[in-house]
Amino acid sequence: MCGVFGVWAPGEDVAKLTYFGLYSLQHRGQESAGISVSNGRQILVYKDMGLVSQVFDENTLESFRGHLAVGHCRYSTTGASTWQNAQPTFRPTADGSIALGHNGNLINTAALAEMVKQLPSDDGELDIHARDLESSTNDTSLVTALLAHHPDQSLEARALELLPQVQGAFSFVFMNENTLYAARDPEGIRPLMLGRLDRGWVVASEDAALATTGASVVREVEPGELIVIDEDGLRSHKFAEPRRKGCVFEYVYLARPDATIANRSVHEARVEMGRQLAREFPVEADLVIPVPESGTPAASGYALESGIPFGQGFVKNAYVGRTFIQPSQTLRQLGIRLKLNALEHMIRGKRIVVVDDSIVRGNTQRAQVRMLREAGATEVHVRISSPPVKWPCFYGIDFATRAELIANGLDVDEIAASVGADSLGYISLEGMVEATGQPQTSLCTACFTGEYPIELPDESLLGKHLLEATLKPSTHGEALPVFNNP
């Protein structure tokens, strides 16, 4: 998850462009938000916990003047959900400063932490590298510290030297006072798009953010590519051979339905997943309903293919965010109860097919089935547009231990009984992959198959808190100049 955005556009209000870009990427992260802006002389960073609209107001955005900005909305995987771990991260360098936003999750954090520890100190005091290790527990701070140390080379050269040593999923957008950078891991696990403004360039996690800010889509940032944008224009470097393994879960759930990934419409892929579900798991029923919003395209596809009428069986509270990405089980359960209500007049006396995108822990589906029973459904048949999630993701999705996954240890009939459904059908792996329009060799399906495209380090280093064992907690604040809300 996480949303990243960057813009280089002299003469434009880059802070507001970044704000609107992050607003359109809010579905990718709801825990914190931040924007860094450069006026050519210094970088100012403003970030805080909360939604984009909660962190920024008109006065804050008006105070940011510059030609270059980077923004981030966070969903935590590595590192606690705290202000110290909000992004963009900021570090001074020998000739200025750097701010960086990261979408993804790194798997060689222990090695990167050791590299940071080996960086020479410029003076006898506790230097920025030591503070980097003590003040935060996220992989992004390590990369920022390593990029910031380039006393005898440019930041561009330093990035080309460092990026091949970074392992895992990363879509980086970073900046110094005059230049915007964007880089994507060789596997291209997380999306990253390049767009063109009349007077500049934009990079963003999804093309919806380009459309929102008035930028036209140019292309994807390629796997293994570093893009550099400054007053001399745009230049591209290939720091690694591409080994495309895009996350299939982007098509299933993560991306907005109006996104395009690898030239495939996410909405069209989800509709086709629903059609395939109807072919693989038909059932006699009176109504097909989606779990809004992410289940809606697949439900429409199921209805089209099966001939069963499509209708709205749930009303969603528009002011409740995605329950899946809440950082604790307590908040996730509360979110489920607040999020949906059943439409009793649509449900009562009917056999219902309810279509959702995935089952991870099972709590959401259990609550949904209970609501439908209480609303008078005579039968509830659950259909899921992804296969059973059986393996943890180490590339940026927060279901990090196998113990959390309901499909680990239970078969389909047992899961159906656990959530209270009359029947349960998961789309096949082959059916899901075919709907994406991509060859399976170009997709990461590790959460379904356990086949990880990037070799993982020792198992003792894996899990939700990859860094906690190597980084020491502290009360040190973020490096200045950074300003947070009171």
Which pLDDT score, from 0 to 100, does residue 409 have? 84
% of the chain surpassing 90 pLDDT: 72
In angstroms, the CA 333 to CA 340 distance is 12
Question: Could you tell me if 217 and 104 lie in one domain?
Answer: yes
Question: Could you tell me if 111 and 238 lie in one domain?
Answer: yes
Q: Is 2 a catalytic residue?
A: yes
CB 64 within 8 A of CB 46: yes
Is the pLDDT score of 20 beyond 90?
A: yes
CB 471 within 8 A of CB 82: no
In angstroms, the CA 329 to CA 313 distance is 26
Residue 458 located in a structural domain: no
Is the pLDDT score of 478 beyond 70?
A: no
Which entry of 2, 73, 393, 444 is annotated as an active-site residue?
A: 2
Residue 459 located in a structural domain: no
When mean pLDDT is compared across 114-118, 238-242, 246-250, 323-327, the lowest value belongs to 323-327
Question: Could you tell me if 199 and 275 lie in one domain?
Answer: no
* Helices 139-148 and 109-117: angle between axes, nearest 10 degrees: 40
Residue labelled with tokens 């219902």: 352
Amino acid at 33: A
The 3-state DSSP class for residue 165 equals: helix
Question: Could you tell me if 290 and 165 lie in one domain?
Answer: no
The pLDDT-based confidence of 135 (bands split at 50, 70, 90) is very low
Question: Could you tell me if 367 and 417 lie in one domain?
Answer: yes
Residue 464 located in a structural domain: no
| 437 contacts: CB under 8 Å, gap ≥ 6 | 262, 263, 264, 269
Which pLDDT score, from 0 to 100, does residue 339 have? 76
Question: Could you tell me if 388 and 314 lie in one domain?
Answer: yes
Residue bearing the bigger pLDDT, 455 or 440: 440
The pLDDT-based confidence of 403 (bands split at 50, 70, 90) is confident
Q: Convert the pLDDT of each residue in 264-281 to its tens digit.
A: 999 999 999 999 999 999
Question: Could you tell me if 134 and 213 lie in one domain?
Answer: yes
Residue 460 located in a structural domain: no
In angstroms, the CA 355 to CA 375 distance is 17
Question: Could you tell me if 119 and 58 lie in one domain?
Answer: yes
Which pLDDT score, from 0 to 100, does residue 337 have? 59
In angstroms, the CA 230 to CA 8 distance is 7
Question: Could you tell me if 333 and 476 lie in one domain?
Answer: no
Q: Convert the pLDDT of each residue in 333-381 to its tens digit.
A: 555 657 788 999 999 999 999 999 999 889 889 999 999 999 999 999 9
Mean pLDDT of the chain: 87
Residue 455 located in a structural domain: no
Mean pLDDT over residues 203-222, rounded? 96
CB 195 within 8 A of CB 216: yes
Residue 81 located in a structural domain: yes
Q: What is the CATH number of the domain that holds 479?
A: 3.60.20.10
Residue bearing the bigger pLDDT, 481 or 251: 251
Which pLDDT score, from 0 to 100, does residue 320 have? 60
Mean pLDDT over residues 473-479, rounded? 29
Which pLDDT score, from 0 to 100, does residue 438 have? 96
Q: Convert the pLDDT of each residue in 279-319 to its tens digit.
A: 999 999 999 999 998 899 999 999 999 999 999 999 987 66
Rg of the chain over Cα atoms, rounded to whole angstroms, equals 23
The pLDDT-based confidence of 462 (bands split at 50, 70, 90) is very low
Residue 442 located in a structural domain: no
Domain containing 191 equals 3-245+469-483
Residue bearing the bigger pLDDT, 484 or 137: 137
Is the pLDDT score of 128 beyond 50?
A: no
Residue 452 located in a structural domain: no
When mean pLDDT is compared across 31-45, 138-152, 253-267, 371-385, the lowest value belongs to 138-152
Question: Could you tell me if 353 and 206 lie in one domain?
Answer: no
pTM: 0.87
The pLDDT-based confidence of 328 (bands split at 50, 70, 90) is low
Residue bearing the bigger pLDDT, 482 or 298: 298
Q: What is the CATH number of the domain that holds 387?
A: 3.40.50.2020
Residue labelled with tokens 């209708």: 311
The count of residues in the chain is 486
| 111 contacts: CB under 8 Å, gap ≥ 6 | 165, 457
Question: Could you tell me if 187 and 315 lie in one domain?
Answer: no
Which pLDDT score, from 0 to 100, does residue 125 have? 34
For the chain, the domain total comes to 2
Is the pLDDT score of 473 beyond 50?
A: no
Mean pLDDT over residues 78-84, rounded? 57
Dihedral sign computed on CA atoms, order 18, 23, 26, 31: positive
Question: Could you tell me if 234 and 327 lie in one domain?
Answer: no
Which pLDDT score, from 0 to 100, does residue 294 have? 86
Which pLDDT score, from 0 to 100, does residue 360 have? 87
Residue bearing the bigger pLDDT, 331 or 242: 242
In angstroms, the CA 277 to CA 386 distance is 9
In angstroms, the CA 27 to CA 325 distance is 9
Reading the block at residue 89, the tokens are 């991260």
Mean pLDDT over residues 460-468, rounded? 40
